[in-house]
Structure 1
Amino acid sequence: MPSAKLTLSDLPLEVLLDNLFPILPTADLLRLATTSKGFSSLGSDESLWRRKLRDDFNFDGAGTARRAGWKFIYRGLSKPRVFVWGERSHGRLGLNRFPKHAKDGVPFPMQLSTPGASIIKLIAGGMSFHALDTQGNVHVWGALHGLSYALVNDGYSRKEKVAKTPLKLRLPNPVRSISCGRLHSSALDNKNKIWTFVNWGRPFELASPLLSQPDSEPIQIECGWSFSSALLKNGEVLVWWPTTGSLAEIIRAEGDRLDNQSIGQAQAVDGVIPCHTWTVTLDPVLLPSLPPLPDITNAEEEFKKNPPRLIEVGGMEDQLVGLTNYGHVLKYNGLHNEQATTSDWHYLPEFSELSRVRQLPEFSDGEGVDKIAPPESLKITHVSAHFRHFFAYSTGASSVVLQGESTTASSSKPKVISELQNKDVISVVLGDYHNAALTANGKLYTWGQFSNGALGLGDPLMLPLGAPGGFNDENQLLRARDRGHGTPPDVAVPTEVKFDHGRKAAKDRFCFDVTAAGWHTGALVIDLEDENEEEEGIEWESEEELRSGFSHDHWQSPPIIPLRGTAPAFRIGFAGRGRGRGHYGRGGPPSA
């Protein structure tokens, strides 16, 4: 008898999802999904589309807690939109025109053009942005080191050189991830090589025997204020300081040598910075292993078999926040420089244990106007940090978001922002004095200080009195309009950011990535509606007009950074602010 013919539907599901569907062209996969209910269900599998996003777009959702919606994002990534806002000095927004009547900076999202690049990840630096595209290329704009100035003819071997609009870095290999400190950045490429930038023209590869040990594959690169760190597969953490100490001396000596030989000047040509790469062989500092930790999951056998290890870290001013595979949150202090690493990891039970979180005063049985129901279960899944603050949060519709500070100790209780609880928050990012939270349904919320528009809630001179991001008092509003004095009050309640400013008709858009640092913010969004281009009703001021009118953003002296514990500083005279305006608000001048 003839043997029965084997059909596609006879193949095991694992073969279809793991071997066949991922290599099918997307158009063929979508057509196959229309042939039956079974293939339709398989064609919507979340793990399949997450894999296709990684393979086709170099996008894996790293840095967020997203668990679903990968097929939707795949469809939208064919044309993502880049939006930026906030402080605009040092070219950090990459824009060639600005809102004409905005008080300071850009106080609402403005779309940035990135010709020929499909951006899938934004990373804000102290005075810059880095972007990763679907091909693993890195694009940069702003200044990596904006505390002094480069000459017009200087190339990007100078750390002070400003990229006024996005430029692409020509690197040896496609890049997987990037992290930014205040005046430097580090990247991990697809061959697991670690690159560090103190300028955009001469990145160096970090080479060390510590990176060639068993299970020493780096799984995360994370920058703090002045240090870089690598979290390894085995849970250990390496730290190095590119802008201070012995490594800074090595970088300076190599820079002098290359300058004397006129090598690697890195002049941008046709929108590309040709990077001159080199290698530093140096052992980073290996941080101590974790202390004994309690079993907070009641999985005794698993806990004994697989002890806790770090799976994520977040970089602060001179500290690291760590997260284990079981949800323990820890903090490491004392990362000022390479000589100051004599501390240990300190466990934060108030951020980790269900019983302690349930006892926080913001949680209750649901009674009371400002109370929220305590969580029934808890496992912290992500941490994020910047400057002097950090967040630890869980995932899902009943997600918990907890805030800590640089002063947080083992007995410290977290700050709980009621409006962020049970909101399916998938990402929290921090600037110097402002914060942003992204939810699974594509909504972006910001809160904190105005910081020259970093909240993105609109022009405070045009917002109604009492609106988040606007003035509360009419006299303050009039004084700001007439004399340019005054700063809107802080926004305490996370408020939604809109991406349709200046349009006559509202535009529904979905935010899938957000970043913040210093006094600026950026986001990636996709349209939820059919394309309907409309001229935005905004009066613009070009870069040339800014220069000819000697605008307050044409020239700036280096930022004055207040010492910790001192009062905020004020600029004297014009000092780059123009028209006698010197007030920066309670946070002091931009650290970025």
Structure 2
Amino acid sequence: MTVRFLTREYRPGLLSGIVTRLTRRWMTTTNKTTVMSFGDGSHGALGLPMSQTGLGFDAYEPTPVLALPPDVSTIAAGHYHSLAVTSQGHVWAWGRNNEAQLGRDPLSPRETWNEPQKVEGLSQVKVQAAFASGVISTAIGDDGSLWVWGKSKRGQLGQLGLGKDITEAVLPSRVEALIGQDIIKVSLGWGHALALTKDGKLFGWGYYADGRLGKIGELFETSPLDSVAFKLKLSGENSGSMTEAAEELVLEAIEKEKNMPIVWEPTLIEEVADVEVVDMACGLDHSLVLDRDGTLLSEGSNVYGQLGRVKQDLGLLPVDMSFIPVNIASGLGHSLAICKGTSSDVGVDGLSVVTWGWNQSYQLGRKGPESIPLVVEEFSGETPVSLSGGRVHSVAVTAKNEIWTWGCGRNGRLGLGSSADEVEPMLVECLEGSQVLQAVAGFDHNLILIAE
């Protein structure tokens, strides 16, 4: 098997060797690949054939998505839909399509949503990578261009980045505000988005309350749609009456938010304009930004402790940690990082997994104060290569090309063959011997890319 990783060109510095190995712009492979999925299938995001009972088919172990081409080079998971990019530069999509995030007619029969189909409207560009949120899908062309499609809703207005009051793009549309920028990564929260350029510049757009996009030339505003109202609604683990009560709180907050603070087009994040950003990640309503010197910054809501800092001021401020982060990720309300310089240095480069934030279903994989970044001790002995966070679960890929999962096991989202929660990282044993190239988590489902 020949796998080629194309990485950014980094200047010599503190994190050069580690970040170059961990941060991948995109991946190509000369051999066949297989995409596998597991977890909640209620929206068709698994891409598996419908059962006799309809779309609500869950997969408790990784299962091949047979309808995809054999040359998928990279994958992405939105909240309830999935994307795959082939070596030919085509994007395939499946799952929820209420907001046209599949790049096909939103009136297409719901029973076809689980069927992977090629996204039309991208013939003028060879796609290298894709990223997604709840209502938006994005694709990055080989020329660094950014393309978006989907339909924004209240709370997610402006996430397309196509201009003032543009809230819908059924077919892929180019983000003109970023023409001339070489985009290499996009991360999308519930209503905000970040884009990283090859030369380390960071752009943000969308819903900017709670300082989740930094200053963006505007005064900070606190959102009346506070994350506390989402705790029950989005956890997916509560009784019907409690969920109804949470939904009422959300509706009340939305009603108060008639004039939402929106940045309609990508705008340079001023606080990091003078440094080189090497990675970033968006949670539901918070953001993480890593610069080349190893400083990790956080911004947005801190109701779960997901900012990892004692200082509660709004804005882009340093996370309270003595470790050196080299790669970051985020779940709905928790944060994850691969770090060097921990007391549990093991494996190649002495890398460990560090987590903080919401831990209702053990998605941190450790004990201890939730708002303080701490090492996942049970992962010692393994060398993490990449991390991904779901609603209330977490996923890691190691240097051995293995996949580990922990947190909430409902709907089989841990791929361990049961619905049991796991308080610490567990090896997905059914994939032992497989070459796992990539693993990504949606809210309640997961995708894995395996080399044959």
TM-score w.r.t. structure 1 length?
0.51
SS in 1 for 2:48: coil
Q: Give 1:316 deviation, angstroms.
A: 0.8
**Is the counterpart of residue 173 in structure 1 residue 125 in structure 2?**
yes
Secondary structure of the 1:132 match is strand
Question: Is 2:192 aligned against 1:227?
Answer: yes
Conservation of the 8 A alpha-carbon contact between 1:181 and 1:227:
no
Q: How far, CA to CA, are the matches of 2:329 and 2:339 in structure 1?
A: 12
CA contact under 8 A between 2:404 and 2:425: conserved in structure 1? yes
Q: Is 2:142 aligned against 1:190?
A: yes
- 1:454 is displaced (CA, Å) by 0.6
Match for residue 346 of structure 1? Answer: 317
Alpha-carbon separation, structure 1, partners of 2:104 and 2:198 = 37
Structural RMSD (CA): 4.0
Query: Which residue of structure 2 lines up, in the alignment, with residue 495 of structure 1?
Result: 426
User: How far apart, CA to CA, are the structure 2 residues paired with 1:155 and 1:50?
Assistant: 31
Paired with 2:333 and 2:109, the residues of 1 have a C-alpha distance of: 25
Any idea what SS the aligned residue of 1:90 has?
coil
- Aligned counterparts of 1:231 and 1:104: Cα–Cα separation in 2: 36
2:291 is equivalent to residue 324 of structure 1: yes
Please report how far the alpha carbon of residue 217 of structure 1 lies from its aligned counterpart in structure 2 after TM superposition.
3.3
Distance 2:68 2:61 in 1: 22
Partner secondary structure for residue 375 of structure 2 = coil
Q: Which amino acid aligns with 1:438?
A: V
C-alpha displacement of 1:314: 0.3
- CA distance 1:421–1:388, shift in 2 (3 Å): same
The answer to whether residue 373 in structure 2 is matched with residue 402 in structure 1 is no
**2:270 match: secondary structure:** coil
Give the Cα–Cα distance (whole angstroms) in 2 for the partners of residues 440 and 164 of structure 1: 32
Amino-acid identity (%): 21
Q: Which amino acid aligns with 2:64?
A: Q
Contact 1:198 1:243 in 2 (8 A): no
Q: How far does residue 290 in structure 1 lie from its aligned partner after superposition? A: 3.5
Q: Number of aligned pairs?
A: 339
Secondary structure at the aligned position of 1:317 is classed as coil
- The CA distance in 2 between the partners of 1:157 and 1:104, in whole Å, is 22
Q: 1:242 to 1:140 in 2, by over 3 A?
A: farther
User: Which of residues 404, 411, 415 is equivalent to 1:452?
Assistant: 411
CA contact (8 A) 2:404 2:428 kept: yes
Provide the TM-score with structure 2 as the length reference: 0.65
Q: Structure 2: 5+ residue runs without aligned partners?
A: 9-17, 152-168, 210-262, 303-312, 341-347, 365-369
Unaligned runs of 5+ in 1: 1-25, 27-43, 55-63, 245-280, 292-306, 336-341, 355-378, 461-468, 470-487, 501-506, 528-592
Deviation for aligned residue 1:234: 5.0
List 4+ stretches of structure 1 deviating above 4 A.
97-100, 157-162
Query: Is the contact made by 1:515 and 1:522 (CA closer than 8 Å) also made in structure 2?
Result: yes
Question: Radius of gyration: which is bigger?
Answer: 1
TM-superposition CA deviations, 1:110-162 (whole Å, max 9, x none): 1111354411211111111100111111000111447x9x9xxx952559965
CA distance in 1: counterparts of 2:378 and 2:97, whole angstroms: 35
How far 1:204 sits from its partner (Å)? 1.9
Shift of 1:240: 2.3
Q: CA, structure 1 residues 105+198, in 2 after alignment: closer, same or farther (shift >3 Å)?
A: same
After superposition, where does 1:10-409 map in structure 2 within 5 Å?
A: 49-50=4-5, 67=21, 77-96=30-49, 105-145=58-98, 156-157=105-106, 163-170=113-120, 171=122, 172-198=124-150, 201-208=170-177, 211-212=179-180, 216-241=181-206, 283-290=265-272, 308-333=275-300, 343-350=314-321, 353-354=322-323, 379-394=324-339, 396=348, 398-405=350-357
In the aligned structure 2, how far is the partner of 1:430 from the partner of 1:229? 17
CA contact (8 A) 2:394 2:407 kept: yes
Contact 2:440 2:447 in 1 (8 A): yes
- 1:222 deviates by 1.5
- Paired with 2:19 and 2:117, the residues of 1 have a C-alpha distance of 30
Distance 1:450 1:98 in 2: 21
Using the TM superposition, give the Cα deviation of residue 196 of structure 1 relative to its aligned residue in structure 2, in angstroms.
1.3
Give the conservation status (yes or no) of the 8 Å contact 1:397–1:422: no
User: C-alpha offsets along residues 205-239 of structure 1, whole Å, 9 cap, x if unaligned?
Assistant: 1112x654xxx433322111222221234544222
Between Structure 1 and Structure 2, the one with more helix by share is 1
1:443 paired residue among 393, 396, 402 = 402
Choose between structure 1 and 2 for higher RCO, CA contacts under 8 A separated by at least 6 residues: 2
- Cα distance per residue 1:242-291 (max 9 Å; x no partner): 999xxxxxxxxxxxxxxxxxxxxxxxxxxxxxxxxxxxx96334333139
Q: Distance in 1 between matches of 2:392 and 2:185?
A: 25
Residue matched to 2:434: 509
- 2:379 counterpart residue number: 420
Find the residue that maps to 1:394 and give its secondary structure: strand
SS at match of 2:447: strand
Residue equivalent to 2:257: none
